[in-house]
Structure 1
Amino acid sequence: MSSLPAQRFSRLPASLQWLALILAAGLGGQALSELGLPAARFLGPMLVAIAFGIAGATIRLPRLGFRLSQGCIGLLVAHAINGSVLQAMAESWPLMLVGTLLTLVLSALVSYLMVRFGGIPGSTAAWGTAPGGASAMVAMAEAHGGDPRVVATMQYVRVVCVVGAGALVGRLLGIDGSGAAAHSSPLSNPEDLPALINCLLLIFVGVSIGARLPAGPLLVPLVAGAALQLGGLLQITLPYGLLALAYGVIGCYIGLRFDRASLVYVGRHLPAMLLSALLLIASCASFAWGLAALTGIDFLSMYLATSPGGLDAMAIIAMDTHSDVGLVLAMQTLRLIVVLLSGVSIARLVIRLSEARTQAAGVARR
């Protein structure tokens, strides 16, 4: 794509860019939904927004909209949490711990390969391949000497690959994309209005409380909504239109992060980034297949639980494909916490190993 079309696109008024994005994202989500792809309302807008970002779009979704959409997804997941799900999560803690640790080992290995063969500095590679929330990893990288632009690109390239692979796996297993509607309670009569208002208030309060926590805008409404629902204090009612909007906002927020400047900056490393993302996904998928065979848990649930994607994206696909939501959310949340606690140590280990390798190669050349 030449720079001239991008310059022309960027000169369009913001109102026209927004209108074009909304129409194209809606059509993209509808088209993938017609094909029966899981998470189509999320995947379609994300792909459209990527194209807009690369084409030079100057609009950006406000972070508040992204957080409120995460809160909607958190409350949707809370709707699926019941006593049997909590019991299964409690019984599966050894499996979740093993899965978390192995995923971390695989990500550390991939980050070392990125340093060794991809030419990316150790701290940047470590945070860029860390299987946690993308925004949290970018913030951690910036605080510990990594390049946030490269880390952001690596994280979101992997998110796109993971989401695409998850939708493809669901499609190959014969799972259509109608799951989200089955988990929502459409606002069909006036009696649902008070419950809807309570849910919206919980989302606003939960997002406000969790704004400073990694994945907090998703996790706080999820935990609070599940607790209130289990206690009989809240009836979770979310119209499908609201959920579709939340899916689209999250997809567009991620997609618009891919602008031409960031891609040009990391252009020469993009093949290595794609290869590392696919390698990590394939490794986790192989591990998930083995665990599914040992435990009897369906492969898609185990794949989503071990997959190195964002917590919100995996929650969307898990709900949309009727997977084991409790297992997926528990393992993804546990891994995020472990990555936040151990990320600095892993980054230092990768840097130390890469420096040792470089020094040994220098001595050998002499």
Structure 2
Amino acid sequence: MSTLTPLAPSGHPVLRPGEDEHSASAPAQGLGRRPPLLQWAALLALSILLAGLMELAGIPAALLMGPMVAGAIVGLNGGSIRLPRLLVFCSQALIGTLIAGSINAGIVTTFLGNWPLFLGVVVCVITMSTLSGYLISRLNILPGTTAIWGCSAGAATTMMVMAEAYGADARLVAFMQYLRVVFVAGAAALVARFWVGIDSAAPAIVWFPPIEPLSLAQTLLIALFAGLLGWRLRIPAGVLLLPFLFGGLMSISGLVTIHLPEWLLAISYALLGWNIGLGFTRRILSHARRVLLPTVASILVLMAISGGLAYLLTRTAGIDPLTAYLATSPGGMDSIAIIAADSDVDIAFVMALQTARLLLVTAIGPALARFVATRSGRTPPVT
């Protein structure tokens, strides 16, 4: 799932956690009464503290997880600051090119040699997420078709646009999609640290390494060009996906050496974490309070199923546990990419399976959700 602020066909942003048509006129609470500069300072300080503690604990992607938790704390305490969409675009494009630098020709071999396995895993994840949404909808736990769109394992932007077309509660759909990203990213980081047993000391981070001007310029150009192309074409997760694919092709061909300094990556990770975390506010939690437990339960069930699929991969295909778990994680492709890049895994396998899931969900997800919404007895509005 992409964490971009989605756009409706009209070009206006689709509501995300913490936003509604009355947000601008809502009275400020807690941190929201403080000047924005003070809010940003508090967010930055808290992010540095949490990221540092997580780094000491050996949790992968601490530079993502720390700001994500800090953003949620600020948001839940009334913070009113939000990231400009342009900064989110830039962070995703840079993360896409980062992963491109880790890809080699083996990703094509991996994909072609395991496509039946990939297809089976992806179909299982999509089937179970759709079934989960159908059951929640039939039980009338969530209004209308909200559960069907909210439980979709990916293509979040498309699902939120479709949800509005069906008269579903876009705020709840956004909340369910973003909450799953938080759960999946957190679980993946904890699995990498504790379950798989990555306990060796991480190498010291070189924040300001020698810069190769030509390689850095080429890398930034790829990120800019491919990211803009993905945004203009409205490809789901395109701002991340196209820099990843285009940069990977350029890197494999030897035309470009991907080079991004650590300080720039840290900024990108923090921006992505803030974008996710700041979306969780008192307003959206109050709105979603009645359905919070069913939503969490559906997320945990989907994660458990994905964990079972990961176990099957380790037993049948000889894939190491962490690679299998990250590859089958349902959603949050950018977050999973960061965790994979920060862990000792087969990143080609992880990204090949994640890309296959995204493409298949994008291709059949909306039609499948529309079919299930109709079968559930929720008739779409006449347009």
TM-score of the two chains, using structure 1 as the length reference: 0.89
Q: Tell me the matched-pair count.
A: 349
**Cα offset, 1:143, TM superposition:** 3.7
Q: Deviations over 1:222-279 (max 9, x none)?
A: 1111111122211111111111111111011011111111111111100111111111
**Cα offset, 1:166, TM superposition:** 0.7
Aligned to 2:191: 169
Matched-pair contact (CA < 8 Å) for 1:203–1:221 = yes
**Equivalent position to 1:294, from 300, 303, 316:** 316
Q: Deviations over 1:137-190 (max 9, x none)?
A: 3233224433210011001111111111111111121225977988xx976335
Aligned to 2:43: 21
Matched-pair contact (CA < 8 Å) for 2:208–2:263 = no
The reply to whether residue 76 of structure 1 matches residue 92 of structure 2 is no
Distance verdict in 2 for CA 1:118–1:320, change over 3 Å: farther
Letter in 1 for 2:97: L
Aligned to 1:195: 215
Alignment partner of 1:355: what SS?
coil
CA distance in 1, matches of 2:346, 2:54: 23
The reply to whether residue 276 of structure 1 matches residue 298 of structure 2 is yes
Q: Deviations over 1:78-101 (max 9, x none)?
A: 111112232122211111111111
Q: Which moved more, 1:29-38 or 1:113-122?
A: 113-122
The reply to whether residue 267 of structure 1 matches residue 270 of structure 2 is no
**Cα offset, 1:206, TM superposition:** 1.7
Matched-pair contact (CA < 8 Å) for 2:101–2:251 = yes
**Cα offset, 1:135, TM superposition:** 3.6
**Equivalent position to 2:263, from 241, 256, 260:** 241
Q: Which moved more, 1:284-293 or 1:169-178?
A: 169-178
Moved over 4 A (4+): 176-182
Alignment partner of 1:266: what SS?
helix
**Equivalent position to 2:359, from 337, 343, 350:** 337
The reply to whether residue 346 of structure 1 matches residue 368 of structure 2 is yes
**Cα offset, 1:353, TM superposition:** 4.2
CA distance in 1, matches of 2:202, 2:102: 12
CA distance in 1, matches of 2:160, 2:312: 31
Aligned to 1:153: 175
Matched-pair contact (CA < 8 Å) for 2:47–2:66 = yes
CA distance in 2, matches of 1:138, 1:354: 18
Letter in 1 for 2:373: I
Aligned to 1:361: none
Matched-pair contact (CA < 8 Å) for 1:118–1:269 = no
Aligned to 1:364: none
Letter in 2 for 1:343: G
CA distance in 1, matches of 2:45, 2:93: 24
CA distance in 2, matches of 1:273, 1:85: 35
Q: Which moved more, 1:60-69 or 1:347-356?
A: 347-356
Matched-pair contact (CA < 8 Å) for 1:36–1:176 = yes
Distance verdict in 2 for CA 1:81–1:34, change over 3 Å: same
- Consecutive unaligned residues of structure 2, counting only runs of 5 or more, are 1-26, 379-383
**Equivalent position to 2:252, from 230, 234, 238:** 230
CA distance in 1, matches of 2:170, 2:198: 37
CA distance in 2, matches of 1:122, 1:179: 48
The reply to whether residue 126 of structure 1 matches residue 148 of structure 2 is yes
CA distance in 2, matches of 1:198, 1:313: 24
Matched-pair contact (CA < 8 Å) for 2:88–2:272 = yes
Aligned to 2:74: 52
- Consecutive unaligned residues of structure 1, counting only runs of 5 or more, are 357-366
Matched-pair contact (CA < 8 Å) for 1:284–1:308 = yes
Identity of aligned pairs, percent?
Answer: 42
CA distance in 2, matches of 1:280, 1:15: 39
CA distance in 1, matches of 2:77, 2:201: 31
Distance verdict in 2 for CA 1:228–1:344, change over 3 Å: closer
Matched-pair contact (CA < 8 Å) for 2:138–2:376 = yes
Distance verdict in 2 for CA 1:240–1:118, change over 3 Å: farther
The reply to whether residue 220 of structure 1 matches residue 242 of structure 2 is yes
